[in-house]
Amino acid sequence: MIIFDRLNCVFQDVFDDDELLIERNYTARDIEDWDSLMHVNLVLAVEKEFAIRLSSYEVTRLKNVGDFIDLIEARL
């Protein structure tokens, strides 16, 4: 499964929405319930799914789904 598909599964799990289909340009404003607490849960779930550790600097630079994808690609 490619990174995008795996990340979409993480979003579906974290936000408990099997119908959620992410787009690269999606931000917290585009996904209901994506607040600061959910962002932490999302980062932890991404770290677990992709077996990576993200620094707080990297996390603060994430502005949208595309940034998540690019960061994951760079780390794998």
Report the pLDDT averaged over residues 57-68.
92
pTM (predicted TM-score): 0.91
- The mean predicted confidence, pLDDT, of the chain is 94
Instruction: Kindly write down the DSSP assignment for every residue of 6-34, as one continuous string.
Output: HHHHHHHHHTT-TT----TT--GGGSTT-
CB-CB contact of 20 with 8 (8 Å) = yes
pLDDT surpassing 70 at residue 31: yes
Range of the domain at 27: 3-75
Quick check: 1 pLDDT over 80?
no
Domain CATH number, residue 20 = 1.10.1200.10
Q: How many domains does the chain have?
A: 1
